[in-house]
């Protein structure tokens, strides 16, 4: 079995479709625009030919999560908590805002804080889908979500193969 497979980011794809002509097995020629994982042999020809760099080669098995020092993880989550509080304050200010420029600025600050939270959580070891940390986090979230989200989390838990 191949060690990696191709993945197309549809947001980057410019539909130049050179991948259709270079794929030796036709894995790139699908109705939904995604590359057929079952057909892909991992040769990388499509990724090299893609002018918009929308195709990436992804390993079939992800590496184990790097171990993190508990003191570092706790410090990162303290920062996450402060970012969440900042977002709450910014949302309150946004509700009171009158001007369009002020609203856009506040929305930008909120988005910036959300991106920082994602980075901090990832750095703390909770974003790799195959990590034990992510598995534990998803199990914990099952208790605090509505039925629709619960079903999604349960599907993720079935598919994730913990490797650390």
- Each of the 164 residues of the chain gets a pLDDT tens digit; together they read 578 999 998 888 888 788 888 999 998 887 777 888 889 999 999 999 999 999 999 888 777 777 888 899 899 989 999 999 999 999 999 999 999 999 999 999 999 999 999 899 888 887 677 778 888 888 888 888 888 888 998 988 888 877 77
pTM: 0.56
CA distances, 65 to each of 119, 127, 150 (Å): 15, 9, 25
Torsion of CA 74, 125, 157, 141, to 10 degrees: 30
CATH architecture of the domain covering 4-59: 2-Layer Sandwich (3.30)
């Amino acid at each position: 079995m191949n060690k990696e497979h191709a993945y197309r980011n549809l947001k980057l794809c410019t539909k130049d479709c050179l991948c259709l002509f270079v794929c030796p097995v036709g894995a790139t020629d699908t109705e939904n625009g995604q590359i057929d994982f079952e057909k892909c042999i991992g040769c990388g020809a499509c990724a090299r030919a893609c002018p918009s760099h929308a195709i990436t080669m992804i390993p079939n098995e992800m590496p184990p999560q790097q171990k993190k020092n508990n003191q570092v993880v706790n410090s990162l989550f303290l920062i996450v908590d402060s970012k969440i509080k900042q977002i709450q304050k910014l949302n309150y200010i946004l509700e009171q805002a009158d001007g369009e420029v002020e609203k856009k600025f506040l929305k930008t600050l909120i988005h910036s804080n959300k991106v920082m939270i994602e980075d901090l959580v990832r750095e703390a070891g909770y974003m790799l889908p195959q990590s034990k940390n992510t598995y534990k986090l998803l199990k914990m979230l099952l208790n605090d979500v509505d039925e629709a989200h619960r079903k999604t989390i349960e599907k993720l838990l079935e598919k994730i193969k913990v490797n650390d």
